[in-house]
């Protein structure tokens, strides 16, 4: 059996590894247009500021593939899939490549919002960039050096936008993040934590402009700045767009596979075409796309089993998990973080500790006593507990302990001040705080054991 995988990042590589684990005999071939064997994209922004080297990013060297008897074809772009003849057309090879089973691990590309001049200046390499690959990093670095760029704008205040802004700032550029939504990390944080994060980002010397729609990138020969809706202009020598992803679907679409936002797959990661499977950033399952490594890893096990005819586990989706990787800023967001965005049918409970003075925010979201999501900012000690208890029933007292949330009781009348549901921590209440029931002083409240 010959299994061909297109794409060699986390999804393609782990699918190959998992297939080899399940089947010693199969012929496995990976085809990728990239120049390097599997490397992590996670630390790409640090390549720009030279905190890492290309070698540091490569996860598996070519020997790894040889040892696993996986044939790796770098610098090779698949132009066409012909499902009828089970063949692939490659740009540089005369004869088509035959497959018995085909896995599409095509990934995604950066989304470019409809901004006047963005695509043109990017294609002409005149100061507009997106970041997805090692090559993108090298081009950005090269441009900054050659053009002696001093001012940068990052369009997109999501995780990747902020991590990129941080490394651009570390490369000594005056850096501004421009975000369309009224807060940073709109998909991972609620308003309160988003506001705390903004202050922390700004304290690192990065400017943040929220609720701003970029209408045009300015500059004839080369970038000179951007114009926002409303007319405000911000100067820049380089503009980096980091505004979400688009699953790569063209190859599948041209071969008449069912596609929507992504390549549509079922619970076994089978596409609409027999013997063609898809995995990772390029897929759409249950109307959802993921774009995160944990989803790729989970899917690569399921797809490998399907390919070798051992369909057992069904894919049920992956809980979104995200961590901001900026030195000195600990932030993790997992699962549902704002139940008001869900269809509220009762049963939701939120335990929250917002310590603005110490810049620490912890929020746990429960439904019918099951842990559904969390935001941990400034203090992520609870992270392993949260990961291990997701979707399980949790004990309220245990959670309070974990978040260091206390109940204070007025010794005069028994009135409770429960930090888990109040906006302000007891220690942050003003000295002249009075018991709302008996008007007794703050000192008369004692922490419940
Ligand atoms: C800067 C950055 C930081 C990130 N940080 C995190 C993080 O901290 N945590 C996290 O969970 N996720 C992170 N991600 C997202 C994560 O990297 C992706 O989810 C992951 O790379 C997806 O893997 P994939 O194998 O599905 O697709 P991709 O990584 O996109 O790989 C697909 C490969 O297929 C190749 N290909 C496509 N079409 C063809 C063709 N026709 N012929 C040949 N080859 C083709 C592409 O060139 C590409 O190399 C980050 C992404 C970026 C860009």
What is the CA(173)–ligand 1 centre distance, in A?
A: 27
Are the beta carbons of 38 and 58 closer than 8 angstroms? yes
In a domain, 316, yes or no: no
- Ligand 1 atom with minimal separation from the 77 CA: 42
Instruction: For residues 101 and 250, state if they share a domain.
Output: yes
**Ligand 1 pocket residue status of 46, Cβ below 6 Å:** no
**Ligand 1 pocket residue status of 281, Cβ below 6 Å:** yes
**Ligand 1 pocket residue status of 81, Cβ below 6 Å:** no
**Ligand 1 pocket residue status of 160, Cβ below 6 Å:** yes
- Ligand 1 atom with minimal separation from the 294 CA: 11
**Ligand 1 pocket residue status of 11, Cβ below 6 Å:** yes
What is the CA(18)–ligand 1 centre distance, in A?
A: 18
Length of the chain: 449
Are the beta carbons of 222 and 127 closer than 8 angstroms? yes
Which CATH number do you get for residue 415? 2.20.28.10
- Ligand 1 atom with minimal separation from the 79 CA: 41
- Count of domains observed in the chain: 4
Chain position carrying tokens 């540089």: 92
Instruction: For residues 344 and 418, state if they share a domain.
Output: no
- In the beta sheet, which residues pair with residue 78? 90
Which CATH number do you get for residue 53? 3.50.50.60
In a domain, 315, yes or no: no
Chain position carrying tokens 């932030």: 331
Instruction: For residues 225 and 288, state if they share a domain.
Output: no
One digit per residue, the tens of pLDDT, for the chain of length 449 reads: 999 999 999 999 999 999 999 999 999 999 999 999 999 999 999 999 999 999 999 999 999 999 999 999 999 999 999 999 999 999 878 889 999 999 999 999 999 999 999 999 999 999 999 999 999 999 999 999 999 999 999 999 999 999 999 999 999 999 999 999 999 998 899 989 999 999 999 999 999 999 999 999 999 889 999 999 999 999 999 999 999 999 999 999 999 999 999 999 999 999 999 999 999 999 999 999 999 999 999 999 999 999 999 998 899 999 988 999 887 888 999 999 888 765 556 788 888 888 887 889 999 999 999 999 999 999 888 899 999 999 999 988 888 888 888 999 999 999 999 988 888 889 889 999 999 999 999 999 999 87
Q: Provide the residue range defining the domain that includes 99.
A: 2-109+246-307
**Ligand 1 pocket residue status of 161, Cβ below 6 Å:** no
Instruction: For residues 213 and 266, state if they share a domain.
Output: no
**Ligand 1 pocket residue status of 156, Cβ below 6 Å:** no
Q: Which residue's CA is minimally distant from atom 17 of ligand 1? A: 41
Q: Is 221 helix (H, G, I), strand (E, B) or coil?
A: coil
Instruction: For residues 301 and 335, state if they share a domain.
Output: no
What is the CA(85)–ligand 1 centre distance, in A?
A: 29
- Ligand 1 atom with minimal separation from the 281 CA: 26
Are the beta carbons of 184 and 178 closer than 8 angstroms? no
Instruction: For residues 146 and 239, state if they share a domain.
Output: yes
**Ligand 1 pocket residue status of 291, Cβ below 6 Å:** yes
In a domain, 312, yes or no: no
In a domain, 209, yes or no: yes
**Ligand 1 pocket residue status of 292, Cβ below 6 Å:** yes
The sheet carrying 370-377 orders its strands as 321-326, 329-335, 370-377, 360-367, 348-355
Give the residue from 279, 306, 297, 288 showing the smallest Cα distance to 104: 279
Are the beta carbons of 180 and 212 closer than 8 angstroms? yes
- Helix runs in 314-426, H state only: 383-389, 396-403
- Ligand 1 atom with minimal separation from the 132 CA: 53
């Amino acid at each position: 059996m010959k299994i061909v995988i297109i794409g060699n990042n986390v999804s393609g590589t782990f699918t190959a590894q998992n297939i080899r684990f399940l089947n010693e005999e199969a012929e496995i071939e990976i085809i990728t247009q990239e120049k390097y064997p599997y490397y992590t994209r996670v630390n790409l922004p640090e390549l720009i500021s030279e905190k890492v080297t290309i070698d540091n990013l490569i996860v598996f060297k070519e020997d790894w593939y040889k040892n696993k008897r996986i044939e790796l074809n770098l610098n090779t772009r698949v132009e066409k899939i012909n499902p009828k003849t089970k063949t692939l057309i490659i740009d540089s090879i005369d004869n088509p490549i035959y497959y018995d089973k085909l896995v599409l691990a095509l990934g995604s590309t950066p989304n470019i919002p409809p901004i006047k001049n963005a695509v043109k200046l990017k294609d002409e390499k005149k100061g507009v960039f997106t970041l997805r690959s090692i090559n993108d990093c090298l081009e950005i670095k090269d441009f900054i050096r050659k053009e002696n760029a001093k001012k940068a704008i990052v369009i997109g205040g999501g995780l990747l936008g902020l991590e990129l802004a941080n490394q651009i700032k570390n490369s000594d550029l005056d850096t501004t993040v421009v975000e369309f939504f009224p807060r940073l990390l709109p998909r991972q944080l609620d308003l309160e934590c988003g506001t705390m994060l903004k202050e922390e980002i700004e304290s690192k010397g990065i400017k943040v402009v929220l609720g701003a729609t970029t209408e045009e990138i300015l500059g004839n020969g080369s970038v000179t700045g951007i114009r926002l809706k409303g007319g405000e202009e911000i100067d820049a020598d380089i503009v980096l767009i980091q505004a979400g992803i688009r699953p790569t679907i063209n190859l599948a679409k041209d071969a008449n596979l069912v596609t929507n936002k992504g390549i549509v797959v079922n619970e076994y990661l089978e596409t609409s075409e027999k013997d063609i499977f898809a995995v990772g950033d390029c897929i759409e399952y249950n109307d959802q796309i993921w774009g995160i490594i944990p989803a790729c890893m989970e899917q690569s096990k399921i797809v490998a089993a399907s390919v070798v005819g051992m369909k057992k586990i069904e894919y049920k989706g992956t809980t979104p998990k995200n961590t901001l990787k900026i030195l000195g800023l600990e932030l993790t967001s997992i699962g549902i973080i704002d139940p008001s965005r869900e269809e509220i049918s009762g049963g939701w409970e939120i335990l929250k500790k917002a310590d603005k003075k110490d810049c620490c925010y912890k929020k746990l979201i429960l439904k019918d006593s099951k842990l559904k999501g969390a935001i941990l900012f400034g203090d992520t000690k609870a992270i392993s507990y949260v990961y291990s208890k997701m979707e399980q029933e949790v004990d309220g007292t245990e959670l309070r302990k974990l978040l260091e949330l206390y109940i204070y009781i007025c010794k005069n009348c028994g009135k409770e001040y429960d930090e888990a549901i109040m906006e302000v921590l007891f220690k942050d209440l003003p000295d002249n705080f009075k018991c709302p029931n008996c008007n007794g002083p703050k000192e008369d409240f004692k922490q419940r054991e």
